[in-house]
A and B are shown apart, each in its own frame.
Chain A
Amino acid sequence: MRNPEAYKLQICTSQFFPSVARLVVAAFLISLASCGNKHGMEKINKSATIQVKGSDTMVNLAQAWAEEYKVVKPAVEIEVSGGGSGVGIAALIKGTISIANASRNMKQGEIDLAKKNTGKTPIEYIVGYDALAIYVHKDNPIEEITLEQLAQIYVENGTVKKWSQLGIKIPGAKSDKILRVSRQSSSGTYEFFRERVLNNKDFELGSLDMNGSKEVVELVGNAKTAIGYSGMGYATGHVKMLKIKNSDGMTCLPTIENTQNGNYPLARSLLLYTLDEPQGETKVYLEWTMSEAGQKIVAVNGYVPIPPGKTDSIKIQL
């Protein structure tokens, strides 16, 4: 028979040992990490932190910039957070951040408040564009749509409910009813669509409200009778983007050129705001986001960069 004391001891060690091992590993990792830091610290001295806050649409882009900027200029730390365009602008007015991201323009009230509170003038920089594409299933024969038709599909008590009303018969579809795919009401894309297409009227209820840009495109790709809206960067092989027909009969696809030259109606600017002319590192960072390297990141993230040669007109003093 086993000596109970020895047995107890064995239990103790067997329970204890893994945690010791874990501790050792953790300590090792920490020391490695701190070594890395020390090495870094010798070379660079964190000289500045730039606080950036605002639009959820832009938060991925802002993160990507911050990541890349670490490589470009390790001494400067960019802290990015989301919360929405309004939150970012409010923080800028309070003076707690240096740069506000916004996917909408500052309202006159906000500009006045900023001037009153801080005595400084907000400055707006256009750093790129986001185009909202209208997606249908790839088998759908429809090629173009007007904003009026789109509004009648989506608006409360709208008149267009069936594809046949648009003169469309979808091959292989089991139903004629238009399956509306939308976003949940908290989404900025939802608000943008409501503002531009529905003139701020309400959506008809009963659409499938997805909680991400990608989900919209995925669902439309799986349902033949569906229509949906999402950022142009989310296109896949299962969906088709529609051309939008202007009132003068011109049709255009959401392409980079059509967004840059202003022909595509469902495009919005991605904006940065500062108070007064930025100084020091903030100024350098802003210039970098508008440089070729910064604009490449805009394109990589599925947005539309500013056309080269137009970079001088992107700064507006409010």
Chain B
Amino acid sequence: MGDNQNSVLAAEYPAISDSKPVSRPRRPYWVITAERIFEGIIRLSGVSAIIFVLAIFFFVFKEAVPVLFSDNFNITQFLTSTKWYPTSAVNVRYGTFSLIIGSFSVTILAMLIAVPFGLGAAIYISEFCNKKLKETLKIIIELLAAIPSVVWGFIGMTVMSKLIVNFTNAPVGVNLLNGGLILAFMSVPIIVSIGEDALKAVPDSYREAALAMGTTKWQMIYRVLIPAAKNGLLAAVLLGIGRAVGETMAVLMATGHSVHIPLSFLDSIRTLTANIAAELGEAPAGSEHYRVLFLTGVLLFCITFIVNLTADLVIRGVRRK
């Protein structure tokens, strides 16, 4: 019986019996080549983000750099003077301080409004609402995030500015308050979705343990959940800030476009981004004004880079835990 089986095997698979090395069946060459090509493409798309960021920074910096050595330009004046007169006939001055203050003031105002709302919404969606409502809310919040910024700007310019004039004694409705509200509306969806993810990442055992200790739901949230998810929540806030600092179109339309350090919420302002958008189109290419606008771009790049880097480091902190 055994012998018989062996001989059958030997007849069918000669390789087994005489143990000579035999080449494995190979896949066709074109399959292998195609695989390699796709591997290359995928690798390239992975690396491309780095290349793009470096290339953008390089080109923006390259356009800006000659002005650093110009006689009319002085980096201290650029950062600390409030006098922005790029096209003056008698005395050209490039001071961006009011623009920097403009950008920061509108961002801070937006965050003061958006952070409590955003985190509150994240906690509600993650902890309090039932499953059906949760899905609905998440879809609606994603929809809110998808509204283009020019539409927000339009809302600011028409609806919001009328409301502000009616309810305050502002002479004109396009101002810091308007821009701050619009930016808050734009950053809330980001804060909500990332904040909700951070809360979801907290293991249920934490909740169960807290409740088992006899805490109320509220105590569980602010004594256990928020400390456990604090890195993720901070990252949500920082990404919201990044969105607000870099936003252009909406603030261009809603803030009144006035170079001016705001003394109240009802003053009009101009931000760094809006200034570039408004002036770059008509500054003659290669002129000093053009280069200073690119330098403003570098400044903005640095600000958003710092914000995003902080957010990234914080997120990494979350992962390590």
Chain A interface residues (CB < 8 Å from chain B): 173-175, 177, 179, 184-186, 191, 194-195, 200-202, 205-211, 219, 222-226
Residue among B83, B171, B256, B281 with the most chain A CB within 10 A? B171
A202 touches B256 (CB 8 A): no
Q: Which residues of A contact B259 (CB under 8 A)?
A: 205-206, 209
Question: Which of A175, A210, A222 has a CB less than 8 Å from the CB of B169?
Answer: A175
Question: How distant is A222 from chain B, measured CB to nearest CB, in Å?
Answer: 7
- Interchain Cβ contacts under 8 Å between A and B, 18 examples: A173-B171, A174-B169, A179-B172, A184-B278, A185-B85, A201-B90, A202-B85, A202-B89, A202-B91, A205-B82, A206-B260, A207-B258, A208-B257, A210-B257, A219-B172, A222-B172, A222-B173, A223-B172
Contact B171 A185 (CB under 8 A): no
Q: Tell me the smallest distance from the CB of A279 to a CB of chain B, in Å.
A: 33
* In the assembled complex, B163 has its CB within 8 A of some CB on chain A: no
- Contact between chains at A202 and B90 (CB < 8 Å): yes
B60-93 interface code vs A (CB 8 A; 1 in, 0 out): 0000000000000000000000111111111100
Beta-carbon contacts under 8 Å, B271-319 to A: 278-279, 281-283
Complex-state Cα separation, A219 to B282, whole angstroms: 23
Complex CA–CA separation, A225 to B161 (angstroms): 16
Is there a chain A Cβ closer than 8 Å to B98's Cβ?
A: yes
B171→A174 contact, CB < 8 A: yes
Instruction: Contacts A201-B90, A208-B268, A225-B171 known; list 16 others, CB within 8 Å.
Output: A174-B169, A174-B171, A175-B169, A185-B87, A186-B87, A186-B282, A191-B87, A194-B89, A205-B83, A205-B84, A205-B259, A206-B258, A209-B259, A222-B172, A223-B171, A226-B171
Contacting A175 at CB < 8 Å: which of B98, B171, B256?
B171
Kindly state the separation between the CA atoms of A223 and B90 in the bound complex, as whole angstroms: 32
Q: Does B254 contact A (CB under 8 A)?
A: no
Give the number of residues in B that approach A within 8 Å (Cβ atoms). 31
Evaluate whether A226 and B172 lie within 8 angstroms (CB atoms) in the complex, with A202-B90, A205-B83 already known: yes
Instruction: Give the shortest distance, in Å, between B165 (CB) and chain A (any CB).
Output: 7
For B92, the closest partner residue in chain A by CB is A202
**Residues of B contacting A200 in the complex (Cβ-Cβ under 8 angstroms):** 89-90
CA gap between A219 and B98 in the complex, in Å? 23
Inside 8 A of A184's CB, which chain B residues have their CB? 257, 278-279
Q: How far is the CA of A19 from the CA of B34 in the complex (A)?
A: 30
Tell me the complex Cα distance, A173–B170, Å: 10
B174 at the interface (CB under 8 A from A): yes
Q: Are B281 and A186 in contact (CB under 8 A)?
A: yes
Q: Which B residues form the contact surface with A (CB < 8 A)?
A: 82-91, 98, 161, 165, 169-174, 256-260, 268, 270, 278-279, 281-283
Residue of B nearest to A211 (CB): B278
Q: Knowing A175-B169, A226-B172, say if A209 contacts B88 (CB, 8 Å).
A: no
Q: Which residues of B contact A173 (CB under 8 A)?
A: 171
Residues of B within 8 A of A211 (CB): 257, 278
Residues in A whose Cβ lies below 8 Å from that of B86: 185
Closest CB-CB distance, B114 to chain A, in whole Å?
Answer: 26
B202 to nearest A CB, angstroms? 45
- Residue on B with the closest CB to A224? B171
Q: B256, A208: Cβ atoms under 8 Å?
A: yes
Which A residues are CB-close (under 8 A) to B268? 208
Contact residues in A for B258 (Cβ distance below 8 Å)? 205-209
Q: Which residues of B sit under 8 angstroms from A205, Cβ to Cβ?
A: 82-85, 98, 258-260
**Minimum C-beta distance from B98 to chain A (A):** 7
- Min CB gap A209→B, angstroms: 5
**Contacting residues, chain B, for A201 (C-beta < 8 A):** 90
Among B82, B84, B172, B260: residue with most chain A CB under 10 A: B172
Distance (Å) between the CB of A171 and the closest chain B CB? 14
Return chain A residues, CB-CB under 8 Å to B91: 202
Closest residue of chain A to B282 (Cβ to Cβ) is A186
B171 close to A179 (CB less than 8 A): yes
Bound-complex Cα distance A178 to B278 (A): 24
| Chain A residues whose CB sits within 8 angstroms of the CB of B172 once the complex forms | 179, 208, 219, 222-223, 226
CA distance A68 to B173 in the complex (A): 41
Give the 4 A-B CB pairs with smallest separation, nearest first: A186-B282, A206-B260, A174-B169, A200-B89
Tell me the bound Cα distance from A150 to B303 in angstroms: 40
Known interface pairs A177-B171, A185-B87, A222-B172. Does A209 touch B257 (Cβ–Cβ under 8 Å)? Answer: yes
- A207: chain B residues at CB < 8 Å are 258
Closest chain B CB from A83 CB (angstroms): 10
Give the chain A neighbours of B90 by CB distance below 8 A. 200-202
Please, which residue of chain B has its CB at the minimum distance from the CB of A206? B260
- CA of A132 to CA of B91, assembled, Å: 25
Residues in A neighbouring B82, C-beta threshold 8 A? 205
**Once the chains bind, are A185 and B279 in contact (CB under 8 Å)?**
yes
Taken together as a complex, chains A and B put the C-alpha atoms of A120 and B231 apart, in Å, by 74
Q: Which residues from chain B contact A210 at a C-beta distance below 8 Å?
A: 257
Q: Tell me the bound Cα distance from A303 to B65 in angstroms.
A: 43
